[in-house]
Amino acid sequence: MAALSAYSSPWPDPNPDPNLNSNPDPNPTSNSSCVSAEELADQLQSIDSFSAMDKPDPFSPSIPQSNPNYHTPLTSPSESTTSTPPPTLLHLSFNQDHGCFAAGTDHGFRIYNCDPFREIFRRDFDRGGGIGVVEMLFRCNILALVGGGPDPQYPLNKVMIWDDHQSRCIGELSFRSEVRSVKLRRDRIIVVLEQKIFVYNFADLKLLHQIETIANPGGLCAVSQGVGSLVLVCPGLQKGQVRVEHYASKRTKFIMAHDSRIACFALTQDGHLLATSSTKGTLVRIFNTLDGTLLQEVRRGADRAEIYSLAFSSNAQWLAVSSDKGTVHVFNLKVNSGSPRNDKLGNASDPNFASSPTSSLSFIKGVLPKYFSSEWSVAQFRLVEGSPYIVAFGHQKNTVVILGMDGSFYRCEFDPLNGGEMTQLEYHNFLKPEATF
């Protein structure tokens, strides 16, 4: 269970308690003075709405430089020195609309815009500073932070709610075990532990729901972002099973997606479609989340692979898959996310419609193994093997954004009619000083 408390100091604690089992109160506190709904609404601002994130907040208390709780943030990219070695990357994640991404490092965190690529701001701490999870809330100043690395900024069992406009934490959630991941909506905070998931109301951090899962060290969880309908997907209690929570209708659906353990999954923005892959990494399956119907199955390859990420395009026409084979695949989807009860095949008369390639022997699929009737990707992009990559679709038509744990940023374009290799439009190493703008 989690303990909830208001964050008393307006600045990060330079010496967080590393003891993860010292939580004095295992029950969430319902009477929180952390932040009210009105206050939170007032604090939400776009990160693009003010140009100087490094300017002090005139309404925050004045903290002298000698204060032991004061951490000097390096907020302007131009302030970084070229002699400083690049930080170690601990975490990468896109925001909810894939227009930005966040990077957690052993010194703090950074926020980048995808198109055009540029560093928006960073927070580097002078002591400790390791951030193992940083989750954005669209493009606003509220983030969720969890410590990480060899010298974590915060305990690994705490979620810190950070207001970057004030450069301080406005709340925290404490747990008895390490936090594996955090997901944010405008109205909810979802915290994922290895075998439990907690759902909180964002306005007052009140615990609304808790879910038990099979061992989930990777913190797998996905939530819809549609207004008024919350769909949450997590591992079930059995190998290969996913659990789908429809909070609007108060329904729970269990789907046996694979025979092997679930390795990765992704949800469309509206929560209607779910893509899953197993630890084998050869097949990706697309399900209707409402009734659990298998709608489509596509093949990444024949040999075992570790799937790093799955991503739907905003209109659910395409699905991108990244793996440890150093490739990103784009598949054509034949289902209509807008009609979950009556999913339709893609319209072949549409000039942008591209059918997924199949084997030339698919006409005798009832005789030959299933491999020969598989649907293959319409486009691929080859990367350097050995580094995990996550992928999302860009805001420009038929573009894909790829982020690597080696600091690489790719923006690529694919032609759904011709297929084949994607065209690289842009490349940056966002960890190097010259990559800042």
Which residue type is seen at 353?
F
Tokens for 390?
Answer: 């996550």
CA–CA distance, 138 with 185 (Å, rounded to integer):
8
166 confidence band (pLDDT: 50, 70, 90) = confident
CA–CA distance, 100 with 96 (Å, rounded to integer):
8
Query: Are the C-beta atoms of residues 295 and 346 closer than 8 Å to each other?
Result: no
Torsion, CA 267, CA 225, CA 172, CA 208, rounded to 10: -90
pLDDT of residue 27: 38
pLDDT of residue 419: 73
Rg (CA), the chain: 22
* Peptide bond just before 10 cis, omega within 30 deg: no
Mean pLDDT value of segment 422-433: 89
CA–CA distance, 243 with 314 (Å, rounded to integer):
23
3-state DSSP call for residue 301?
A: coil
Query: Are the C-beta atoms of residues 246 and 256 closer than 8 Å to each other?
Result: no
Torsion, CA 5, CA 7, CA 12, CA 13, rounded to 10: -60
Query: Are the C-beta atoms of residues 73 and 164 closer than 8 Å to each other?
Result: no
Residue 230 pLDDT more than 90? yes
Q: Phi/psi at 364 (nearest 5 deg)?
A: -115, 40
CA–CA distance, 150 with 20 (Å, rounded to integer):
15
Mean pLDDT value of segment 324-353: 63
Query: Are the C-beta atoms of residues 266 and 275 closer than 8 Å to each other?
Result: yes
Please give the full DSSP string across 64-105, using - where no structure is assigned: -TT-TT------SGGGS-TTSPPPPEEEEEE-TTSSEEEEEE
Tokens 């992928």 -> residue: 391
* 198-210 residue pLDDT tens: 999 988 889 999 9
pLDDT of residue 433: 62
* 255-310 residue pLDDT tens: 999 999 999 999 999 999 999 999 998 899 999 999 999 999 998 877 888 899 99
Residue 238 pLDDT more than 60? yes
**Cα dihedral 10, 12, 14, 15 sign:** positive
Query: Are the C-beta atoms of residues 100 and 113 closer than 8 Å to each other?
Result: yes
* 386-401 residue pLDDT tens: 789 999 999 999 999 9
Other Cβ atoms less than 10 A from the Cβ of 238: the count is 12
Residue 358 pLDDT more than 90? no
